[in-house]
A and B are shown apart, each in its own frame.
Chain A
């Protein structure tokens, strides 16, 4: 009988995985598979819990039928659904409401009933969003501006507050900023940037659409680009970048956040939960808590590897890429001991962080 234990993410990390595009493709494919399975299990768990405690409640009966329909779906369609940002927002909200409802003395099923009933409509919206209409970049990544799912606009603040259609003068100013150029133009820019990224690092081109579901282009924002785990799968891009190389960096930066969100769904990696801005990022001078610092470290290690490839493969942007590579590399050199000495790591997190530090050290050493 042959061995048949599936390659788990934790086993892969013990074998050196970082989930950068430099890993073999089966590493990130296994990460995707494990996280999607985990998300489906949470949906199933909600059904089992509420079916046990409120079996005749209308919302629970409806949800039970909906989950059975979901599990009977074509696995490919179901897996696609499990990566849609709106579905993931629904799942987080439902889990939070469920936990509060189940607490001793809590409100019970009333806390979660509305969310359970909404499952089918969220599912239908997500399926419809996968249709042929609408703009895309990199083949399949949805490109939007203000026409996002209501669940996205519900949780996007404080990163970005979508216009309400109030007609106020402040909102009209914002709308004007969005008219600077049409979304179709940005679609061409993003496609060009991602095409160049793929040429420099083909594996990154393969991974990007598997971890970034939707790009939201918001010229009226006050940031260059943004992500947050509460809307995993969706990234905001402002379009303030001055060159195509900067657009590449913005897109790859946010892609890096997404990959790390997925890794952290399988294991929290560290137990530092303090919210204070205790760390100054060597790359920007911005202050962050350990979580933010860790994300930045993971992403700048990715970006350094990217710029090293651009320096080698693209003569026309060699000079700015080399300059940026040295800036990032200098910051990594400072960050490595800070990351290692300040982290209170889980067992898996300790190994994963060492793997990422090994990648960062390789970049730093290549600069000597």
Chain B
């Protein structure tokens, strides 16, 4: 079933790096529709006709981006929520990897500081 739906599952444990300038704002990309399914989320990129399934930790990060946060604030936000059962471990290390994947697929925008 999944193959014909062009679905992907993001995890946040793979290695790749995005250089995020200090003060950059991270926010959802244009044309991304989402729906919560239990503690996961389905994203549909209406511009590229692609769907993605976020696992629970990835969903937690995605929801924080609702507000359009500076990258440092996002990391600090997670670091301050040590008691959150969904917050991924080692967020300073894994967050850039995950954001890289989102950015590569056009799911988030990173606005450079002026």
Contacts and interface: CB of A to CB of B under 8 A. Distances in A.
* Secondary structure dominating the interface of A: helix
Contacts, number: 82
Interface of B: 1-5, 7, 11, 13, 33-38, 40, 42, 44, 46, 49, 51, 53, 55-57, 82, 85-89
Contact of B89 (A1, A6, A53, A96): A1
Contacts of A1: 82, 87, 89
Interface string A1-16: 1111110100000000
B42 A71 contact: no
Interface string A47-71: 1110111000000000000010001
A41 B40 contact: yes
Contact of B57 (A5, A41, A75): A5
B5 A45 contact: yes
A317 interface: no
A267 to B, nearest CB: 9
Contacts of A5: 11, 13, 57, 88-89
Contact of B1 (A39, A51, A102): A39
A40 interface: yes
Contact of B2 (A8, A49, A96, A265): A265
A42 B2 CA distance: 7
A272 interface: no
Contacts of B88: 4-5
A99 interface: yes
A340 interface: no
A4 B84 CA distance: 10
B54 to A, nearest CB: 9
Interface of A: 1-6, 8, 37-42, 44-45, 47-49, 51-53, 67, 71, 75, 91-92, 95-96, 99, 102, 265-266, 268
A40 B46 CA distance: 20
Contacts of B36: 71
Contacts of A39: 1
B3 to A, nearest CB: 7
A91 B4 CA distance: 12
A6 B38 contact: no
Contact of A40 (B33, B37, B51, B57): B37
A95 B87 CA distance: 33
A263 to B, nearest CB: 13
B35 A48 contact: yes
B107 to A, nearest CB: 14
Contacts of A95: 1, 4-5
Contacts of B33: 48, 51-52
B101 to A, nearest CB: 15
A37 B38 contact: yes
21 contacts: A3-B89, A5-B13, A5-B57, A8-B11, A38-B7, A41-B7, A42-B7, A44-B35, A44-B42, A45-B44, A47-B35, A48-B35, A52-B33, A52-B44, A67-B35, A91-B1, A92-B1, A95-B4, A95-B5, A96-B4, A102-B49
Ranked nearest first, the 4 interchain pairs of A and B with the lowest CB-CB distance are: A48-B44, A44-B42, A52-B46, A3-B89
A320 B101 CA distance: 56
B14 to A, nearest CB: 12
Contacts of A53: 46
Nearest to B46: A52
B57 A4 contact: yes
Given A4-B87, A5-B88, A8-B11, A75 B42 contact: no
Contacts of B2: 38, 42, 265-266
Given A37-B40, A38-B2, A6 B56 contact: yes
